[in-house]
Amino acid sequence: ATYEDWAREDSYHKSFLMARDEVLEYALANSEAKGLPDIAVTPAQGKYLKLLAQSIGAKRILELGTLGGYSTIWLGRALPEDGELVTCEYVQKHADVARENLDRAGLLSKVKIVVGPATETLAKMDKKEPFDFIFVDADKPNYPTYFKQCRQLVRKGGAIFVDNVIRRGGVSDLSITDDVRINGVREMLEVVKEDKGMDATTIGTVGEKGYDGFMYAVRLE
Ligand code: SAM
């Protein structure tokens, strides 16, 4: 199968399972108009994140890597009335566009955007206020650190979803040794392997954004 086949499948399934959504379309169009890169999750992935968070009854969600808030909108929609979402973004301009998009989505009251390096934001968080669901989608070289930090911030039974862990097969291609993103994923896998309190699996995905995958980890103890 080729990229065109994957994109066609995504589009075909979407035609049954996803209604047109002006809020999400606006978020993507506004992000593009403001010059943000086209690296948000796909609609199918965004909806999957929402369904996962909903299925564990998430009331507190953490996101690393806001960009224009596209995945934030999906995750925000999983929350009950009194739920909250904290999303971490390094680039002020991305955060500004995300604020516009979240406002349009009617989600600003539930979402707090924290601008700065996510490692520093997480280090300042109170572990007594844990999260039910964490979506990791920021800079890949920091993935080992993010996993260790998020593991301290997720409640027992809660989940950490880490995106882009296959990278077109590059992560398992050991002839590649100098890619900092791939090395970040590999080091994170070492960390997860040693962490007996977390149980995890990786699932490969193909679709309109190509071949990649995610890791889903649940805190056991
Ligand atoms: N989750 C978004 C979505 O699907 O709509 C996409 C996030 S994009 C792949 C990654 C984002 O992480 C970018 O906006 C980038 O500026 C941000 N980022 C990069 N380094 C960061 C850091 N050290 N701390 C926080 N955010 C960072």
For residue 71 and ligand 1, the question of a CB distance below 6 A is answered with yes
For residue 102 and ligand 1, the question of a CB distance below 6 A is answered with no
Ligand 1 centroid, distance to 136 Cα (angstroms): 9
For residue 147 and ligand 1, the question of a CB distance below 6 A is answered with no
For residue 67 and ligand 1, the question of a CB distance below 6 A is answered with yes
For residue 48 and ligand 1, the question of a CB distance below 6 A is answered with no
Q: Which residue has the tokens 């590999």?
A: 186
Q: Are 122 and 151 in contact (CB under 8 A)?
A: no
- The ipTM is 0.99
Helix (H) or strand (E) holding 168, with range, is none
Question: What pLDDT does residue 1 have?
Answer: 87
Domain count, the chain: 1
Q: Are 219 and 197 in contact (CB under 8 A)?
A: yes
Q: Are 215 and 162 in contact (CB under 8 A)?
A: yes
φ and ψ of 89, to 5 deg: -140, 140
Cα–Cα distance for residue pair 203/48, rounded to 1 Å: 13
Ligand 1 centroid, distance to 16 Cα (angstroms): 30
Q: Minimal CA–CA distance to 69: which of 102, 117, 115?
A: 102
Longest dimension (CA), the chain: 49
Q: Are strands 111-115 and 84-89 parallel, antiparallel or unpaired?
A: parallel
Nearest residue by C-alpha to atom 14 in ligand 1: 67
Angle between the 3-17 and 43-55 helix axes, to the nearest 10 degrees?
Answer: 50
Question: What pLDDT does residue 221 have?
Answer: 82
For residue 91 and ligand 1, the question of a CB distance below 6 A is answered with yes
Q: Minimal CA–CA distance to 24: which of 14, 152, 166?
A: 14
For residue 70 and ligand 1, the question of a CB distance below 6 A is answered with yes
Question: What pLDDT does residue 51 have?
Answer: 98
CATH number (domain holding residue 77):
3.40.50.150
Cα–Cα distance for residue pair 86/112, rounded to 1 Å: 5
Q: Are 97 and 70 in contact (CB under 8 A)?
A: no
Q: Ligand 1 pocket test: which of 41, 91, 185 has the largest number of ligand atoms within 8 Å of its C-beta?
A: 91
Helix (H) or strand (E) holding 219, with range, is strand 210-219
Question: What pLDDT does residue 28 have?
Answer: 98
Domain interval for residue 99: 3-219
* Ligand 1 atom nearest 63 alpha carbon: 1
pTM, whole model, 2 decimals? 0.98
Q: Per residue of the chain (221 residues), what is the pLDDT tens digit? A: 899 999 999 999 999 999 999 999 999 999 999 999 999 999 999 999 999 999 999 999 999 999 999 999 999 999 999 999 999 999 999 999 999 999 999 999 999 999 999 999 999 999 999 999 999 999 999 999 999 999 999 999 999 999 999 999 999 999 999 999 999 999 999 999 999 999 999 999 999 999 999 999 999 98
Query: What does the block give as tokens for 193?
Result: 């392997």
